[in-house]
Structure 1
């Protein structure tokens, strides 16, 4: 394995993005730059549910809120998250994300990476497929994102 000695840089306003309808995602680091994790930025102006209830068996997912207010439901706990809030969702724990009116922006860290590709696949489907349980079930089974 050859290790690059160059920094991986994604400048503001750059990076591979996908429009998911309710929100957009920008890939900051993924399979093209690391096999250890994926780091993404999600943002949107829509309030309401940004995803269906789901869990991951093979990785942890965590969130850091940059702007806006979100409610992350992790298991049975509803966590209101304002800017500066960090949330780690343990493996095997059901969770959802709901944005307050006006939406917002957060970073998502997935360890290990790979889930970012599911979002690019969902972006090729009709808008808001990310919130459709039937579509999520069909697509996300390949990415360890299991609707519950």
Structure 2
């Protein structure tokens, strides 16, 4: 059977997963685009996060324009769900809708990794690059500078 829909509107894209470079972030964490949002026409972005032992803290925050879903690949990640921190071991999946406070960190003695699905595919690659530059320079941003950074890239509201 042939689909009679608008076949001409379909656009198949190919990207070599894992080809993006990792950005070293605060707390020793690194993030790398596995499938950047531009490859999926902005429908989603998929990012790999590596969290070192006792590090990789991403403080509680929220996103107004996109959801995030976390799949822990190995190790155990502590995830904040807006009310409490709880362990997410390898194989766990957590979904955070738009506007919901969340955060994550690795409290364990072993490294942890997770895949983070962002929907729609927000422009995270430039955001991660700038965070890496800030971290490498040892800069401490003021609240106003954080607000401006978040507004430019992802319209994130800190809690």
Residue pairs, 1:70-85, within 5 angstroms? 70-85=77-92
Deviation at 1:52, TM superposition (A): 1.7
User: Could you tell me how far apart the structure 2 residues matched to 1:106 and 1:57 are?
Assistant: 22
Partner of 1:68: 75
Q: Please tell me whether residue 87 in structure 1 is matched to residue 127 in structure 2.
A: no
Conserved? CA contact 1:52–1:132, under 8 Å? no
Deviation at 1:132, TM superposition (A): 6.7
Deviation at 1:16, TM superposition (A): 2.6
Aligned residues: 145
User: Could you tell me how far apart the structure 2 residues matched to 1:60 and 1:81 are?
Assistant: 18
TM-score, length-normalised on structure 2? 0.77
User: Could you tell me how far apart the structure 2 residues matched to 1:47 and 1:133 are?
Assistant: 25
Partner of 2:147: 137
Q: Please tell me whether residue 118 in structure 1 is matched to residue 127 in structure 2.
A: yes
User: Could you tell me how far apart the structure 1 residues matched to 2:117 and 2:35 are?
Assistant: 9
- Paired residue for 1:41, among 43, 48, 51? 48
TM-score, length-normalised on structure 1? 0.82
Ranges in structure 1 where 5+ consecutive residues have no aligned partner: none
Partner of 2:23: 18
Structure 2 vs 1, CA of residues 32 and 6 (structure 1 numbering), >3 Å: closer, same or farther? Answer: closer
User: Could you tell me how far apart the structure 2 residues matched to 1:127 and 1:54 are?
Assistant: 22
Ranges in structure 2 where 5+ consecutive residues have no aligned partner: 1-7
Deviation at 1:128, TM superposition (A): 9.4
CA RMSD of aligned residues (A): 2.6
User: Could you tell me how far apart the structure 1 residues matched to 2:32 and 2:114 are?
Assistant: 11
Answer 1 or 2: which has greater helix percent: 2
Between structure 1 and structure 2, the one with the greater Rg is 2
